[in-house]
Amino acid sequence: MKRLSLLGATGSIGRSVAKVLADAPGLFEVEAVAGGRDVAALAQAARSLGARFAAIADPQSGPALAAALEGTGIASGAGPSALIAAAQRDADVVVSAIVGVAGLAPTVAAFAPGRRIALANKECLVAAGSFFMAEAARRGAEILPVDSEHNAIFQALAAAPAAAVEKITLTASGGPFRLRRREEIARAVPQDALKHPNWAMGAKITIDSATLMNKGLELIEAQHLFAVPPERLDAVVHPESVVHGLVSFVDGSVVAGLAMPDMCVPIAHCLVHPERVATTCRRLDLVKLGRLTFEAPDEERFPALRLARAAMEAGGALATMLNAANEVAVAAFLEGRIGFYGITDTVAATLDRMNGGPAPASVAEAHDLDMQARRTAAALLPKFAAKAS
Ligand code: NAD
Ligand code: MG
């Protein structure tokens, strides 16, 4: 049996990983689980997955976690060092599914020769992509993308040598506001933005999907994962979320990855690649779907895409800052402190105020840039305060 550790065990991706493991008993034993601050959910995940070690990020929650695991024989720890310890436990596969730049240090700590990192956390690549990919290669870790678009593209890229790739296209659902006018979108409150048409995901990525920042982050993610220049990367709106990613080759052939919008599909792929494992994931029925539609993204109503593309093209530290400002702004929107367009306004204003500089060359440098951008973004929030309606 292979061993797996699951960072972000209590989240949406974490639960989908548990479902894939339940579909394929006997394939993996779980070494470590880690979560943010929900003690009960983490203890429950540790028990049901039969983990040997559980780590909670909140340093205050150590005693509560230990108490919740009493009598199970599952060891536990709390705080940043416990997250690192969980990441470094002996495992063949480490699933990186913590949300935000908080996942960067534990994911890098998990790099080890021959170890597979099933990467859901895209913020790692946006904040520190050049360093992250080079460091993984240097330490002999294999990075496989869990993100559905990138997973489809990874599979499509196997069709031909890298030199034959002309263009890579990611699809975007368009989010809950795809058909809304700008004035309506401007009035959106968190509960409107949290209603994603196709996917059930954590709050942060769901808001990113509503602004289309998620697609912007994913363009940068693809740039680093597949070592492709920005001009070969494109995004198209596809409301059905069935075609996830496409690779166009120099001869005019296009290889696309299709599946129902169910994260269990790319997770199952990452866990056993190059093998395949039978799952109970949702199945695609083209006749039942009837039609698949595509349209160009509207950067007037969804300026996030333009901001992310500009950061990607500029290179250097801008993507780190874009990610940090976006994390601050999404949290402020969810707390009702800024309006919906306050998210992209905060990101744009933060990038305007910061000097670019070189891309981070270590986790410490990424955290430093991230903190600077967070401070700048936080100071700008009052400018974009939500107006009582
Ligand atoms: P989520 O909010 O449901 O779960 C996040 C997990 O991270 C939880 O286990 C939480 O406890 C943990 N966490 C939060 N803050 C932490 C901290 N400071 N330290 C340690 N752990 C912390 O989010 P999700 O939807 O599962 O997304 C996880 C990641 O996967 C994100 O980066 C997201 O962009 C990416 N992703 C998610 C989906 C999806 O369908 N949910 C698809 C593609 C990519
Ligand atoms: Mg995605």
Angle, helices 12-23 vs 264-272, to 10°: value is 60
Atom of ligand 1 nearest to the CA of 35: 11
Give pLDDT tens digits for 249-297.
Answer: 999 999 999 999 999 999 999 999 999 999 999 999 999 999 999 999 9
For residue 140, how far is its CA from the centre of ligand 2 (angstroms)?
A: 25
Is the shortest distance between the CB of 121 and ligand 1 below 6 Å? yes
Pick the CATH number of 315-389 from 2.40.110.10, 1.10.10.10, 1.10.1740.10, 3.30.540.10: 1.10.1740.10
Whether the model clears a pTM of 0.95, i.e. scores above it, the answer is yes
Q: Where in the chain are the domains?
A: 2-146, 315-389
Ligand nearest to the CA of 265: 1
For residue 165, how far is its CA from the centre of ligand 1 (angstroms)?
A: 31
Tell which wins on pLDDT, 233 or 199: 233
Which pLDDT score, from 0 to 100, does residue 386 have?
80
Which pLDDT score, from 0 to 100, does residue 199 have?
87
256-291 CB burial, b ≥16 within 10 A, e <16: bbebbbbbbbbbbbbbbbeeeeebebeeeeeeeeee
CATH superfamily, region 2-146: NAD(P)-binding Rossmann-like Domain (3.40.50.720)
Give pLDDT tens digits for 45-58.
Answer: 999 999 999 999 99
Question: What's the whole-number mean pLDDT along residues 12-20?
Answer: 98
Confidence of residue 360 (pLDDT cuts 50, 70, 90): very high
